[in-house]
Structure 1
Amino acid sequence: MAYELYYWDGLQGRGEFVRLALEDAGADYVDVARGAKKDGLGTDAMMKVMKSRTEPHIPFAPPFLKDGELIVPHVANILLYLGPKLGLAPKDEGARFAAHGLQLTIADFVTEVHDTHHPLATDLYYEDQRDAARVRSKHFIEARIPKFFGYFERVLKQNPHGDTHMIGKKATYVDLSMFQLVEGLHYAFPRACAKFGEQYPRVAALHDAVLGRPNIARYVESERRIPFNESGIFRHYPELDQDAS
């Protein structure tokens, strides 16, 4: 049976981290919310699962994955589950949990990206918190990007198996997620990322190595890859972008 991925239609968002793993592995999956209602798919099908009164393990919010009767919520949790099945996780148990820790750190960073344009409340429009967003984005660019990517550079440097993989000697879902972080940052903050390759050469090399993977290259150029837009996690508001110090 095909995996079923549940995430909002029209957005890369957090669902994209799961899509990249499925696409890289050539896995059979259905992006449920993007399907037709007549086929039992679409956003209504996703909401039906979330509002179920019989399912004992209902998810709070998308993304979540269905594999048969099993429902797995949250990006890092989904990738922890899928990684071994797709050949995108270390075989050693300790290394698998180390990879999971890296993915959770990525999740922390994604939350901070979101808060650059919604620093006060998620249910307020961006226009209602623009001034606060300017302050938050300035701090994000000056302090938080260097904090996280300095760490990611160090992780790559200290990998004894080569510095284009976050962990181990083979590509994992963590590498694919790092690719998405770099793509998203360049979209949202092009001025701040103008010298990204000079500042974080190992992360930049990892990004290019992932883009060189055949299935990822085909996916990025396909219609299946939803373009970045101002409804997702990574949003480009020129007034929030500035040169990195």
Structure 2
Amino acid sequence: MRYELYYWTGIQGRGEYVRLALEDAGADYLDVARERGDDAIMAFLGGEEKGALPFAPPFLKAGRLVIAQTANILAYLGPRLGLVPEGEAAEIYAQQLQLTIADFVVEIHDTHHPIAASQYYSQQRTAARKRTEAFRKERLPKFLDYFEHVLERGNGRQALARHSYVDLSLFQLVSGLDYAFPSAMRRMQRRIPRLRALAERIADRPNIAAYLASPRRIAFNEDGIFRHYAELDPSR
């Protein structure tokens, strides 16, 4: 099957978690908006296309199916791309971990947009500094410690019994946080050795290494979820 991925152009965003799974598996897919522009997304959001009505991208078209929400898309793709161990328990646990990643992503986004997504960062800088101080001290360690414990309880190298889409998403988390909060992540270094090692192994996987070196991988930037503002990431 040829999959069609719909996500905004110019940013990695939540679509990147799906894109990494498709790239790692060597799946045949079309990154629709990059070929046809963002209007292709709006046609679905406006109800002009057949199938389920997505609230927002990312969404995936697989045959006649239209599947929205990152964790839901990955739960669908996992068994079909060999990116989740077999069995109901493994599939449910993988989705649970992916939903926890989704919770974390929301909190990361809200460091720079704590008041409203419709406002520019410059309009909410004071609130962003307060929000991010609590994030760096409390939420960042809480989530990363949890995922470190997940790897420890697994086989020490992966979230589940073998390589899965969750590992790819953890790689994206670590990569994005390194970009957005390099000082805070350096202070976390000794607490997350397994996450660090996992991220390095994922980056070395042949299909992922090729993707990261290609123009298909959009660079992190200040329009996406992971944004670097020096005032939100002090060195001390």
Q: TM-score range by the shorter chain?
A: over 0.9
Specify which of 155, 163, 173 is matched with residue 171 of structure 1.
Answer: 163
Kept after mapping to 2: 8 A contact 1:3/1:29 = yes
Which amino acid in structure 2 is aligned with residue 12 of structure 1? Answer: Q
2:172 equivalent in structure 1: 180
* Secondary structure of 2:185's aligned partner: coil
Matched ranges for 1:18-29 at <5 A: 18-29=18-29
1-structure distance, mates of 2:207, 2:187: 28
1:8 equivalent in structure 2: 8
| Alignment root-mean-square deviation, CA | 1.2
Shift of 1:78: 0.2
* Secondary structure of 1:192's aligned partner: helix
Residue segments in structure 2 that go unaligned for 5+ positions in a row: none
Shift of 1:56: 4.8
Matched ranges for 1:77-116 at <5 A: 77-116=72-111
2-structure distance, mates of 1:72, 1:53: 16
The C-alpha deviation readout for 1:20-74, integer Å capped at 9, x for no partner, is: 0000000011111111xxxxx2211111122124635210100000001100000
TM-score between the two structures when normalised by the length of structure 2? 0.97
Say yes or no: does 1:231 pair with 2:223: yes
TM-score between the two structures when normalised by the length of structure 1? 0.94
Q: Residues 54, 180 of structure 1: CA spacing in aligned structure 2 closer, same or farther, 3 A cutoff?
A: closer
Kept after mapping to 1: 8 A contact 2:6/2:41 = yes
1:137 equivalent in structure 2: 132
Kept after mapping to 1: 8 A contact 2:51/2:66 = no
* Secondary structure of 1:66's aligned partner: strand
Kept after mapping to 2: 8 A contact 1:64/1:72 = yes
**Number of residue-to-residue matches in the alignment:** 236
Specify which of 144, 150, 157 is matched with residue 155 of structure 1.
Answer: 150
1-structure distance, mates of 2:16, 2:51: 26
2-structure distance, mates of 1:108, 1:218: 29
Shift of 1:8: 0.3
2:189 equivalent in structure 1: 197
2:234 equivalent in structure 1: 242
2-structure distance, mates of 1:232, 1:92: 35
* Secondary structure of 1:30's aligned partner: strand
Kept after mapping to 2: 8 A contact 1:164/1:209 = no
- Identical-residue share of aligned pairs (%): 57
* Secondary structure of 1:191's aligned partner: helix
Shift of 1:197: 3.0
Which consecutive segments of 4 or more residues in structure 1 shift more than 6 A? none
Shift of 1:193: 1.1
Which amino acid in structure 1 is aligned with residue 184 of structure 2? Answer: A
Say yes or no: does 1:62 pair with 2:57: yes
Which amino acid in structure 2 is aligned with residue 186 of structure 1? Answer: D
Shift of 1:195: 3.5
* Secondary structure of 1:226's aligned partner: coil
